Amino acid sequence: MEIKTVDFGKMDYEEAFNLQMQINRYLQQHRQIPGFLFFVEHPPVFTLGRNRKEEDFLFPLEAVKNQGFQVFESNRGGNVTYHGPGQIVGYLLVNMEHFRKDVQWFVWQMEEWIIQTLQSVGVDSGRKEKYRGIWVGDEKICALGVAIKRWSTMHGFALNHQTNLDHFRLINPCGITEYGVTSLDKIGKAYKREEIIRIMERTFEQLYKAELEPISLEEVKQIASETQAGMA
């Protein structure tokens, strides 16, 4: 089974979101295609999940925007989360019938993917009862959120690599108030972004029993454009 993959590099959240929407639609129209894996790094942005609450922002929304943060309403589950420089964001867009048509399995598998990746760089991490995401002790190192339509997925994970953790102080991350956040940098793991992504790719292939095949950003944009135009 072949999954197309590309690192978008730095890209605005809205542009990446719109690409995801079109690729998700493309997958719904082409059930024979297993899917795509995109890596990306966003400028500072807070994204609002379907379950967010007003009190998840600790400061007035306009004050947050005036500090240079984007705020974007997303179609994923969950509450409010932060994306920004130094964070490795992965979007896994697949047709689930090529894996397993089981939402709980899909989320668990993504968590396991992160746990095994972190284990490869010497970080002992795991799940926390009642809360999604991956934790190092009582600090969250990776957030997860997905949206699924007709068994085609979008969104994924946000792993704190060299992230400015002070930005999380503007919100209750994922609606959680009693625990903190951490990053690979904070716990002393000095890996380059490209090194982490390579490890993630190897772990993905082993865990999902899939082969990653490179695709260019231009090819992804072409698929998205044709899908939007109703040509794909």
Q: Which of 96, 141, 147, 174 is catalytic?
A: 174
Within a 10 A sphere around the Cβ of 158, how many other Cβ atoms? 25
DSSP string computed for 162-221? S--GGGGGGB-GGG--S-EE--TTTTT----HHHHHHHHHHHHHHHHT-EEEE--HHHHH
- Bridge partner list, 214: 5
Copy the structure tokens of residue 111. Answer: 């968590």
In one-letter notation, the amino acid at residue 178 is E
Is 174 an active-site residue?
Answer: yes
User: What does the block give as tokens for 113?
Assistant: 């993917």
- CA nearest neighbour of 6 among 197, 203, 226: 197
* HSE-up (13 A, CA, CB side) for residue 17: 16
What are the start-end ranges of the H helices in the chain? 13-29, 61-66, 103-120, 193-208, 217-228
How many whole angstroms separate alpha carbon 93 and alpha carbon 154? 5
Contacts of 115 (CB under 8 A, 6+ apart): 125, 126, 127, 134
Q: Which residues are catalytic?
A: 174
